[in-house]
Amino acid sequence: MPELPEVETVVRDLRPLLVGRRIASIAVGPHALRRPWSKNWARMLRGRQVTAVARRGKWIVVHLDDGQHLVVHLGMTGQLTVAPSQLPMNNHTHWIVVLDQGYDQLRFRDIRRFGSVTRFRDTMALSKFFESAQLGPEPFEVEKPYWQKTLRRTERCLKAVLLDQRVVAGVGNIYADESLFQARLHPTLIACRLANAEQERLRKAIGVVLQRAIERRGSSIRDYIGGSGLKGKYQEEFRVYGRTGRPCLRCRSPIERIRLAGRSTHFCPQCQFPVPSSKSRVRS
């Protein structure tokens, strides 16, 4: 599933291709996506101009000139791109926006159809939607007091905490593993038992990893492509994710994998080994 770096890359690609352009028409395929699309929405959106393209967590938000908003979630296999109208349509394209005079189209393709496109009538409706999702702060906006307080009051393991979108928005399986490796913390460690220095190391590691992934346009493992159709390259820099049995790039110990918080979890047993002298360390 695309995580924050992939969604941010799509947003940055789409912004110069969409801002200032008008919706001429919208066509929707016969197969439903994860959230229903109302037939009336195409009429309500016709003629509206895009004023901004933004991101909240793993959601893409397209702002329109009359206060309406389009919110897109890529699901597991979603691709949101702008393409010339004469370019043949790929299979599994479920939502098409004709732009301006019809020379270009915004296309949403989703093989598994776990993604969605939803229209919100105004900013209040959009705010209520995100409030109901209980999204935590953006990773680059996590302040030290909030981070310390949040970790100290949960007995969950670090991997589960990082996957919880209510704690921090946008981090998924890939970047949770990579951030824990960057911070030299074992994924099974109990959050409330971390020392202050360990908490801060993890907070900073999340930002470092995500920023580098954004610079590399995210990770293209299966279906992900950016808004311009280009793939990401951060998968070439993975330190632990998907490297089970391969040597750690720091210490050459074989990378291990366990099942944690319902997800495959990758780590180096040496670099992320629980240190006996710290009360925070708990073996898996």
Q: Which is catalytic among the residues 21, 263, 269, 274?
A: 263
Which stretches does DSSP call E strand in 40-103?
Answer: 50-56, 59-64, 69-73, 78-84, 93-99
Q: Is the Cβ–Cβ distance between 186 and 274 less than 8 Å? A: yes
Q: Do 193 and 280 form a contact (C-beta atoms < 8 A)?
A: yes
Mark whether 263 is an active-site residue.
yes
Q: Which two tokens stand for residue 278?
A: 């710290």
Residues shown for the chain: 284
Q: Which one, of 173, 160, 164, 172, lies nearest residue 264 by Cα?
A: 173
Residue with tokens 């710290």: 278
- Cα 215 from Cα 219, distance rounded (Å): 11
Say whether 256 is catalytic: no
Active-site option among 3, 6, 198, 256: 3
- Supply the angle between the helices 4-18 and 196-215 in degrees, to the nearest 10: 40
What does R_g of the chain's alpha carbons equal in angstroms? 21
Find out whether 231 and 224 touch, Cβ atoms under 8 Å. yes
Is the Cβ–Cβ distance between 224 and 241 less than 8 Å?
no
- What is the DSSP-derived secondary structure letter of residue 239? S
Residues 6+ away with beta carbon under 8 Å from 159: 176, 177, 180, 187, 188, 260, 261, 263, 265
Catalytic residue among 58, 109, 239, 281: 58
Name the phi and psi angles at 260, rounded to 5. -145, 135
- What is the set of active-site residues? 2-3, 58, 263
